[in-house]
Amino acid sequence: MIVILSNISVGVWEILIFQLGAMVLGFFIHFFIVSKKTVTPKSSDHSVLAESSIDPGEWKLKFLENEESQKKTVDQLQKELEAARENEELLNIEVEELKKLIKETRESATSIKPVTSSLPDYLLPDQHQRLIRLQEELDHLRDKERRHAETQSINDQLTVQLREWKKINLEQETLIRQLKQEQYLAVEMKERLHQTQEEFQALQIRLQKMETLLSHPHRSYEMDELQQNYLRLSKEYDELRMKQITILEENQRLTRLLADTEDKLREASFNRQTLLKKISYLEELNFDLQQLSGHNKKLEMQLKRLTEIDNLLSRTTGGRKPEA
């Protein structure tokens, strides 16, 4: 009977360890829910460039402010994660100390020789109270087991969500590459338009020189040749004028396309960074939940052990009552 009671005290210490593990699990679940509400971006946020297409400096300022606020949010989440890790380390230290205490208790229990004589009657109420406490602890452990099942279900859902976010991340990267290619084409069209304007200005200068030469009657140039050159230059001028109008229209279209492309590029970059941060956080959380799942498996083994001890005590108590 003394050996059995010492084993029961060891089981209570182990129950305390499992309660600490359950507290750590609840803390991580609460931390995940709070961080999820904080990191998720609002769907009603509009693009900075779309709201300020007239003033480019204004949308740049707004973009920088938005980026700074996102950095502050990320820093705050990192600080909370570091605090959670520090708390986890402290709890691990306490668990190690409790394990050492359990080991010492077991060693002291094995050193006690079993006593075959009957126990006094005044120990029966103590045993009854201890059985009641063990029953309460057993119910509490069953509740912990149910919570562990819910946590495992949440872990599976997070794994599925993590896969979906990785797929969305690949799509965002493809979209970013397309937007960069469109941006490169828009820059090339701007360069061509600038070159055409320079050629047009050069032709205007040549026409002004020809008009200046024709305005002096004492010049000894042949009028026919000058007239032909004038007609040829006029024709080239008209062609370049039409070309300039076409290029200006194309430039306006490309400018609008470039603005939309830059808007989409910034939005895609922001979504990609957000998804990468969420993926990294979910991977860390998944790793922590896997570790807690291992602790809960140990808890199930201890629960079975407590059930066996409870049955043994019930049989022992039942055997004592008929003797009384």
Residue 49 to residue 58: CA distance in whole angstroms: 9
Residue 280 to residue 287: CA distance in whole angstroms: 11
Angle at 81 between CA 72 and CA 95, to 5 degrees: 165
Closest CA to 42 of 253, 201, 270: 270
Domain locations in the chain as residue ranges: 2-114+121-323
Write down the pLDDT at residue 242: 92
242: tokens are 């039409």
179: tokens are 């937007």
User: Digits of tens for pLDDT over the chain (324 positions)?
Assistant: 333 334 444 455 666 667 677 777 776 776 667 665 544 444 444 443 344 444 556 666 766 776 677 677 777 767 776 776 676 677 667 667 766 766 665 665 555 444 333 444 444 566 567 667 767 766 776 777 677 777 777 767 777 777 787 788 788 788 888 888 888 888 888 888 888 888 888 888 888 887 776 666 555 556 777 778 888 888 999 999 999 899 999 989 998 999 998 898 889 889 889 888 888 888 888 888 888 888 888 888 888 888 888 888 888 877 665 555
Residue 253 to residue 315: CA distance in whole angstroms: 90
Residue 23 to residue 25: CA distance in whole angstroms: 5
Tell me 54's DSSP state: S
235 Cα distance to chain centroid = 63
- 304-313 LR contacts (CB < 8 Å, sep 24+): 305/11, 306/11, 306/15, 306/134, 306/137, 306/138, 306/141, 307/138, 309/4, 309/7, 309/8, 309/11, 309/134, 310/131, 310/134, 310/135, 310/138, 312/4, 313/4, 313/8, 313/127, 313/131, 313/134
Write down the pLDDT at residue 293: 83
Alpha helices, DSSP H only, in the chain? 2-39, 48-51, 56-110, 123-214, 223-323
Write down the pLDDT at residue 314: 83
Residue 269 to residue 163: CA distance in whole angstroms: 19
Write down the pLDDT at residue 46: 41
